[in-house]
Amino acid sequence: MNIKALKLHHYPATRSARVKWVLHEVVGDAFEVARVEIYEGTQYSEEFLRLNPNHSVPVLEVTWEDGNTQSMLESAAMVCFLADAYPDKGLAPPPSASFERADYLQMLHFGSTWMDMMLWQIRIHEHVLPTRERDPRTVARYRMKFAKEVEPQLAERLEAGAYICGKVFTAADCVVGHCVSWARAYGLCQDDVFQRYLSTLSKRPAFVSAFADARQFSLEPPQDAAINTLFIG
Ligand SMILES: N[C@@H](CCC(=O)N[C@@H](CS)C(=O)NCC(=O)O)C(=O)O
């Protein structure tokens, strides 16, 4: 069935930016964006919780040609879905038993689970949890693990090819690229190879559109922000 409309619930530079990037790659500007003020706690409103009980962005509403609307709640699923839904854009090796498809899925999910998990722990223990709940050991553990284990794996790939899966840009770059940029905000991924990677990615018009609002994001929520009392992990 054909997709009739797409609507992204988004907050600048967060995980919804990965999906916004892929949306710009596949449909240009032909999708709706609803900004969710996550520092003001809009994601905990009854209306938003009906859409996403996990109180988070992104949410992607997909309206099908029969008029039904479906909500997707996981950024990696959205990225994969969109790349496959618009095969003419060449963002993913076709879903078949191939080395390229296996490698693409491996890297997309390495970004969305393994890298993301470490960055999220650093983020909440450095910036989001109430001070009494922050654990410096968790931050130290994941900073060390990211630098010692993740960075060399990425660097080896990026030294062999401009993109995370080799010579061709794929939707896996939208996830890994977002995580690399996130990591750099924490002083990780500082080697030249990562700078080169982001410089290559940032030349894409879809990247420019997706991150045009990124400066509106601050790592630290304002002191009086509602999220400081509402956030539950
Ligand atoms: N599994 C989700 C995680 C989404 C997520 O945690 N989003 C954060 C922003 S990056 C959020 O909206 N947090 C708000 C909150 O939990 O209060 C995905 O990757 O799509």
Give per-residue pLDDT as tens, 13-61.
Answer: 999 999 999 999 999 999 999 999 999 999 999 999 999 999 999 999 9
Name the residue among 11, 1, 36, 6 with its Cα closest to residue 23: 6
- Using most ligand atoms within 8 A of CB, pick from 8, 15, 116, 181 the residue to mutate for ligand 1: 15
Q: What is the pLDDT of residue 191?
A: 98
Where exactly are the structural domains of the chain?
Answer: 3-91+213-230, 99-210
CA–centroid distance, 43 to ligand 1, in Å, is 10
Q: Closest ligand 1 atom to the C-alpha of 38?
A: 14
Topology given in CATH for the domain delimited by 3-91+213-230: Glutaredoxin (3.40.30)
Is the pLDDT assigned to residue 225 strictly greater than 90?
yes
For the residues 76-104, what does the mean pLDDT come to? 98
For the residues 113-135, what does the mean pLDDT come to? 97
CA–centroid distance, 54 to ligand 1, in Å, is 8
Residue with CA at minimum distance from ligand 1 atom 16: 56
For residue 9, what is the DSSP state? E
What pLDDT, in 10s, does the model give residues 140-172? Answer: 999 999 999 999 999 999 999 999 999 999 999
Cis peptide preceding 12, ω within 30 of 0: no
Q: What is the pLDDT of residue 232?
A: 86
What pLDDT, in 10s, does the model give residues 169-215? Answer: 999 999 999 999 999 999 999 999 999 999 999 999 999 999 999 99
| Torsion angle of C-alpha atoms 86, 88, 92, 93, degrees rounded to 10 | 130
- Asked whether 14 lines ligand 1 (CB < 6 A), one says yes
CB 211 within 8 A of CB 198: no
The CATH code for residues 99-210 is 1.20.1050.10
Q: 176 to each of 29, 53, 95, 197, 216, how far by Cα in Å?
A: 23, 26, 20, 10, 22
Q: What is the pLDDT of residue 20?
A: 98
Is the pLDDT assigned to residue 1 strictly greater than 90?
no
For 8, the 3-state DSSP assignment is strand
Q: Closest ligand 1 atom to the C-alpha of 112?
A: 19
Residue with CA at minimum distance from ligand 1 atom 12: 56
- How many whole angstroms from its chain centre is CA 51? 19
For the residues 86-103, what does the mean pLDDT come to? 97
CA–centroid distance, 76 to ligand 1, in Å, is 12
For the residues 97-107, what does the mean pLDDT come to? 98
Q: What is the pLDDT of residue 28?
A: 98
Is the pLDDT assigned to residue 233 strictly greater than 90?
no
CA–centroid distance, 11 to ligand 1, in Å, is 10
Q: What is the pLDDT of residue 183?
A: 98
CA–centroid distance, 159 to ligand 1, in Å, is 31
